[in-house]
Structure 1
């Protein structure tokens, strides 16, 4: 690693070793299953507001679902895995189709059938008028999908108010997923699960995908170790200022450092009394340099893994400095804090 220092800026030049996939057995479907399972903190009552207004329509849900899956697929493309773009087809019981090859070279095809809040609201009216219920429609669509859509799995996405339509949610689960339609495997994505996935920011999905695909990568493990070995206040300081330092903003006042220490973007909160110890730690490591007649200066190259991970975000993920800093926080085990930036 070479360093160049000028009067106005500081540049760290890396021979960038890009991260690599170490969990090749993971498929886009495995990642999706992981993401929809992150329902902690989402209550059934939250689905009422989320699936309202424009998000109550089938068209919005179909587009949003396909776009989020594309974020997953882009992570695979970024690390050299060929995947087919998501397709909108609305044919034979399938709204969105996903196709990919697994690690064994076998092609997997998944069809998604989406039901919106408007459709759920209209369900009772249709049944009273002698029309087909949603569950009956889904059974018919499952039969069509199994016979004509050429898919291996069929996922029903319930994008509606879970409390208002709790009987419908239960009916879909019981009547469609208690067994198989011939050879077709069926999965029901509940409103809480659908909301969990659809409300995620793209950069959060990207970070989770990268963590799962590259969890044993040397760069990632080094960066995580560098952060985990620091006390909380020092973690916060490093995660807050490292990206800016790599972009040339190397000078910090004591107020800047204290603010960074208290930013709580690390895994736990830092107390005011812990800041002197954090500063002393980073000074002893050479990350913070202090001359009594000038501001603190930051030497980011002390943390080689973190620097490499930051540039992974900037170069391979085409992120802005702000986005790359969030990526750094997410990748070092602080996904719960990333929205604070």
Structure 2
């Protein structure tokens, strides 16, 4: 596959991956607990996610970029990349739940707000960044007033300080970014960057006009066939029906397109390579992205299925 959409830079992909609509965590309570409440975990995890974005560009042979944990000049994680022959530099200041709880009730100088003001000054006047992001990785419900205070005292009316753009990330958006596995990041970024790629468009065309039952059948059984197990029993396929289908017609069409082949009364043989676009995406995940079989399945499903089919 190849990048066909040059509109996205690494930092724009960070924004796309930090939306509540794409959040992978739906658990009860607070995300930032135990190990995830610690500053060290947040810095390491944030750096890892940024590295995965940069690795994706490198796999497709584009972009010179770097990401590192620095913890200096008001910056925890530093990202730089070249775009249109110009280097763009972003500093991330991360705040953890444990830091907020530790500093709660202290005087202004030693409070989270006080620390952020000092760090903002250091980052903005260091000459090292074009953007500076404040990322509170904290319980939004418990600390909503603190978020409002950060916004009021550091962000509002000051979106550009000394030529540096300053942003505040909502803690719920930070959860969305940090909750994604590397495979999720690869799939979403590939969908955005490679939307015009012929392989991706071909895979979408292979299933876009199929019935719900036909799509369900393909998305259920193609993966095992690609992994070497091409036999499937008739009753296993029948298990997918909802009662609204004309099963004879559904089976006939799946045979017509070459996906199913009768196995002399012993069920069916799955013929995955008659859907070459889907196969190409699967092996894109396996080979270029180094994914496991289940990871490649999830990669393809993110690229070509509907949200209902992902559940």
From 242, 246, 265, the counterpart of 2:222: 242
* Matched residue SS, 1:216: coil
1:206 alignment counterpart? 186
Unaligned stretches of 5+ residues in structure 1: 1-18, 263-269
Please give the per-residue CA displacement for 1:257-287, whole angstroms capped at 9, x wherever unaligned.
234xx3xxxxxxx624427143232022221
Please give the per-residue CA displacement for 1:68-104, whole angstroms capped at 9, x wherever unaligned.
11111111111112333311110000000001112x1
* Matched residue SS, 1:146: helix
2:303 alignment counterpart? 331
Q: Structure 2: how far apart are the matches of 1:294 and 1:48?
A: 49
1:271 aligns with 2:226: no
Q: Structure 2: how far apart are the matches of 1:47 and 1:272?
A: 35
* Matched residue SS, 1:110: strand
Contact 2:37–2:138 (CA<8 Å) still a contact in 1? yes
1:140 aligns with 2:122: no
Please give the per-residue CA displacement for 1:185-207, whole angstroms capped at 9, x wherever unaligned.
01111110101111112111110
From 122, 132, 137, the counterpart of 1:154: 132
Contact 1:114–1:159 (CA<8 Å) still a contact in 2? yes
1:280 aligns with 2:268: no
From 162, 168, 177, the counterpart of 1:197: 177
Q: Structure 1: how far apart are the matches of 2:308 and 2:211?
A: 18
Q: Structure 1: how far apart are the matches of 2:203 and 2:146?
A: 47
5 Å-filtered alignment, 1:211-222, equals 211-222=191-202
TM-score by length of 1: 0.84
Q: Structure 2: how far apart are the matches of 1:47 and 1:163?
A: 13
Q: Structure 1: how far apart are the matches of 2:175 and 2:190?
A: 21
Please give the per-residue CA displacement for 1:111-159, whole angstroms capped at 9, x wherever unaligned.
00001111112333212xx642212221211111011151000000010
5 Å-filtered alignment, 1:290-329, equals 290-329=262-301
Contact 2:125–2:162 (CA<8 Å) still a contact in 1? no
| Gap change, CA 1:48 and 1:141, over 3 Å in 2 | farther
Contact 2:43–2:94 (CA<8 Å) still a contact in 1? yes
Unaligned stretches of 5+ residues in structure 2: none
Shift of 1:46: 6.8
Shift of 1:25: 2.8
1:166 alignment counterpart? 144
1:181 alignment counterpart? 161
| Gap change, CA 1:61 and 1:22, over 3 Å in 2 | same
1:56 alignment counterpart? 37
Contact 1:48–1:160 (CA<8 Å) still a contact in 2? no
2:80 alignment counterpart? 99
Contact 1:98–1:109 (CA<8 Å) still a contact in 2? yes
Shift of 1:52: 1.1
2:52 alignment counterpart? 71
Shift of 1:40: 6.5
Aligned length: 308
* Matched residue SS, 2:295: helix
Q: Structure 2: how far apart are the matches of 1:308 and 1:42?
A: 26
| Deviates further, 276-285 or 190-199 | 276-285
Contact 2:24–2:180 (CA<8 Å) still a contact in 1? no
Contact 1:91–1:149 (CA<8 Å) still a contact in 2? no
Shift of 1:105: 1.7
TM-score by length of 2: 0.92
Give the aligned CA root-mean-square deviation in angstroms. 2.2
| Gap change, CA 1:53 and 1:325, over 3 Å in 2 | same
